[in-house]
Amino acid sequence: MPTLTIDGRRVEAPAGTFLLQACRQAGVPVPTLCEHPAVEPYGGCRLCVVDVTRPEWDGWRKMVVSCLYPVEDGLIVDTRSERVVETRKVVLDLLLARSPRTPLIQRLAREHGIEKTSYEPNPDPTDCILCGLCVRICDRLGHSAIGTADRGAGRVVAPPFHEPPAACVGCLACAEICPTGFIRFESGPGGRRIWNRDFEMVRCPRCGRAHITKAQAEWYGKRMGWPPEEFEVCDACKRREMAAATVTLGSGPKGSAAS
């Protein structure tokens, strides 16, 4: 197993893993915004930068994003060097200029000693920090209904052609994973709306609760090889049925009514 030095401590890390995990396993905190264990490392937020060097490099060192840098035997990692701290500050300063009203960014910036951005604040503040989690999660689920569109300062997360996405099933995973709550949706008995697409809901045949979209039921059915009708009953009614079945199986007192 490769052995490396992180902030002066010798740490063993399994080969094939990345510096970020090694740091965290060693109990060294590294801030991140785009990292998630369910998806591949992305290197999008640049907050997890660290300094690395080796004894034979004669004092030369380089700054790398730890989420994408594989562990190596003999590597010396510094997560608190002056330029690492400065780089993280610049990243957060820029993010705060982009998203001045976003509580998560305000908090992280404050933790790094930035109360106010030194750049011109975004005249059109957005909560989207382009961490790409929503896009990667949607890919991971196999829909790829959203992606990033346009470039540079105009880069946004959007469905293809900024139209209601045909591949979306309305599962809301993108909105739930979003660290800043940028992705808005509406969901109620009448239907669900996300990415400007309206979804018809499946109503539980027992209690009438609208719990998933029809597209979700079809997708679940395809994924599990069950007919989509299997997903009609909501979880509360499934529990009630389980309780009733337990009674009819003969474990309940005779004559008691199964509710």
Partner 1 sequence: MDRIYRVTPQSCIACGKCELACSFAHGSDGRPAQSRIHIFRRGPEAGTPVVCLQCDDAACLAVCPVGALSWNLRTGAIEVSHETCIRCRMCVAACPFGNMHWDEGRHEVAKCDLCGGDPRCVPFCPTGALAWLQPSAAVRPAEPPASGMTGER
On whether the CB atoms of residues 122 and 129 are closer than 8 A, the answer is: no
Coil, strand or helix: which one is 6?
strand
Residue 212 found at the interface with partner 1 (CB under 8 A): yes
Q: Per-residue contact track with partner 1, 41 to 80, x per CB under 8 A?
A: ----------------------------------------
> Of the ranges 2-10, 48-56, 94-102, 218-226, which one interacts with partner 1 (CB under 8 A)?
218-226
* Placement of tokens 């880069």 in the chain: 155
Give how many residues touch partner 1 by CB under 8 A.
Answer: 43
* Placement of tokens 């780089």 in the chain: 87
CB-wise, 15 or 258, nearer to partner 1? 258
Least distance from partner 1 to the Cβ atom of residue 237, Å: 7
Residue 216 found at the interface with partner 1 (CB under 8 A): yes
Q: Per residue, what are the HEC states of 149-187?
A: ECCHHHCEEECHHHCCCCCCCCCCHHHHHCCCCCCCEEE
Length of the chain: 259
Residue 15 found at the interface with partner 1 (CB under 8 A): no
CB-wise, 193 or 206, nearer to partner 1? 206
Least distance from partner 1 to the Cβ atom of residue 217, Å: 8
37, 113, 152, 154: which one contacts partner 1 (CB under 8 A)? 37
Structure tokens at 166: 């045909």
Structure tokens at 62: 């380089």
Spell 241-258 as b/e; 16+ CB within 10 A means b.
eeeeeeeeeeeeeeeeee
Segment (H or E) for 85: helix 82-98
On whether the CB atoms of residues 112 and 155 are closer than 8 A, the answer is: no
Residue 140 found at the interface with partner 1 (CB under 8 A): yes
* Placement of tokens 């910036």 in the chain: 109
Least distance from partner 1 to the Cβ atom of residue 46, Å: 21
Coil, strand or helix: which one is 57?
helix
CB-wise, 56 or 251, nearer to partner 1? 251
111, 176, 186, 198: which one contacts partner 1 (CB under 8 A)? 176
CA distance 256 to 259: 9
| Interface of this chain with partner 1, residues 225 to 254, rule: CB under 8 A | 231, 233-244, 246-247, 250-254
CB-wise, 151 or 254, nearer to partner 1? 254
List contacts with partner 1 (CB under 8 A): 36-39, 137, 140-142, 171-173, 176-177, 212, 216-217, 220, 223-224, 231, 233-244, 246-247, 250-254, 256-259
